[in-house]
A and B are shown apart, each in its own frame.
Chain A
C-alpha cells in the first residue's frame, strides 16, 4: 500500500520544474491553484510563515548599515592619509608633518562603557520580543507579555543613549575649554567630524527606539512590534561597533 502510494510521488519529482510553463505560458495543471484563498495560493512563493515581513525588513537594514559602514570607512581612510601627509619646509628642505594628536578626554572611556551597556540592554529587549512562550501568548491574544517584558529594556537603552550623548557633549566642551575646536588643526577637525557624525547616528537610533517604545503599546500586530524592536536593535548594535572602531582609532592610531 505504502509502496504503491509512494511511486507516483517519485514520478512527480522527475517531472519538469514547477516554473516550466505549459501551453499559453500558464503553469502545468497540477501546479495551478484553485483560487479562493485555499491551498496556500495567497502565500507568496517561498513564504516563511508569520515572520515573513521581519525577514523582508532585515536585509533592508543590513544594506542601509553597509552603506553607512562604507561612508565611515571612507572617513577613516582620509583620516589615515591626512594624518601622515607632509609638506616640505622651504627653510630646511625637509618633510614636515603638522598633525597633532588630540588629547582625548577621560570621559570618552565612560561613554564607551555606557554604549556597550546600552547594546546589552537592547539585545535583552530584542530577545524578550522573540521569547516563544510570550510570543505565543500574544499571538493568542492573551495580553502583551513580550512587549511588557521588552519595554523596560528599550527604555533603559534609550536612557543610556541619552547618557552617551550627554557624555559626548561634555567631552566636546572639555576640548573647547582647552582651545581645541573644530578648525584648530586637522586632527581636531577629524575628532569632531567622527564623533559628531556618530552622535547624529546615535540620535537617529534614539528616534528609532522612541518609535519602538510607542509601537510596543500602539502597534496592533505582534509582528510590527517585533520588527520595530528588532530593527532598532540591529541599528543600535551597529552604532556600538562603529563607536568601538572610532574609539580604537582615536586612542591608538592618532
Chain B
C-alpha cells in the first residue's frame, strides 16, 4: 500500500487523460530525459578533458 504513494495520484490523473494527452506526457518526459542525460554526459566529457595531467611534471633529479 505504501508503495508509490506520491505517484499514485499522478498515475491516476494520467490514466484518466485522453490518449493524446498521454502521448504529450511521453514526449515531455522524453525531452527532459534526453536533455538531462545529454548534458550529464557532456559534463562528464568536459570534466575528463579538463582532468589534471597526473604526471605533467616528473622529478628527474639524479643522485
Q: How far is the CB of A95 from chain B (nearest CB, A)?
A: 4
* Bound-state Cα–Cα, A83 to B21, Å: 8
The winner among A55, A76, A77 for most chain B CB atoms within 10 A is A77
Prevailing SS type, chain B contact patch: helix
B4 sits at the interface (CB 8 A): no
**A12-B59, A70-B39 given as contacts; is B20 within 8 A of A97 (CB)?**
yes
> Number of contact residues on B: which range applies?
20 to 34
> Number of contact residues on A: which range applies?
20 to 34
Could you say which residues of chain A place their CB within 8 Å of the CB of B39?
A: 66, 69-70
* Bound-state Cα–Cα, A63 to B40, Å: 10
Q: A45 contacts B52, CB within 8 Å?
A: yes
Q: B17 contacts A86, CB within 8 Å?
A: yes
**B30-47 toward A: CB 8 Å interface, digit per residue (1/0)?**
011001100100110011
Q: B62 contacts A74, CB within 8 Å?
A: no
Q: B62 contacts A80, CB within 8 Å?
A: no
Taking CB as reference atom, which chain B residue is nearest A31? B59
- Give 27 pairs: A residue, B residue, CB < 8 Å, sorted on A: A9-B62, A12-B60, A13-B58, A30-B59, A30-B61, A40-B57, A63-B43, A66-B43, A70-B35, A70-B36, A73-B31, A74-B32, A77-B28, A77-B31, A77-B32, A78-B28, A80-B28, A81-B21, A81-B24, A82-B24, A83-B24, A84-B23, A84-B24, A84-B25, A85-B21, A95-B18, A97-B20
Q: Which residues does B use to contact A, with CB under 8 Å? A: 17-18, 20-21, 23-25, 27-29, 31-32, 35-36, 39, 42-43, 46-47, 50, 52-53, 56-63
